[in-house]
Amino acid sequence: MKEPTTGLNKEFGFHIGRPFILVSRLPMKRVAECVGASNIQLKRYVKGRAAQTFFFDGKSKTIRSNHWKNYAMEIQSSGNSNNLKVTSGINSRWW
């Protein structure tokens, strides 16, 4: 069966390939931003900044940076950390 390249992935709840931003629930409503192609930090929202947008890749089932499209989001220390980072996507997986 061929993997869909558009539309809603009901298993994960993401629209494939549609850009989105990750907004904090803290009072300042900051957003996640890729800094230096490796770390993810909370920053103030800037309209149109590609480093603050992400998309769901339906083929690898990972969240990828819209600025560095070959980098996928992962949790450091095999999921045993509070820190998020983006890597080349080889070892990215859902925890």
Would you list the domain boundaries of the chain?
A: 16-87
pTM of the model: 0.85
Q: State how far the Cα of 41 lies from the Cα of 84, in Å rounded to an integer.
A: 8
Mean pLDDT in the chain? 87
Class of the domain covering 16-87: mainly beta
Angle at 61 between CA 71 and CA 93, to 5 degrees: 70
Neighbour-count burial of 65, counting CB atoms closer than 10 A to its CB (0-12 exposed, 13-18 middle, 19+ buried): buried
Residue 92 has pLDDT above 90, yes or no: no
Report residue 79: phi and psi, to 5°. 90, 5
Query: Tell me, what's the pLDDT at 94?
Result: 59
Residue 70 has pLDDT above 80, yes or no: yes
Half-sphere exposure for 1 (CA within 13 Å, toward CB): 2
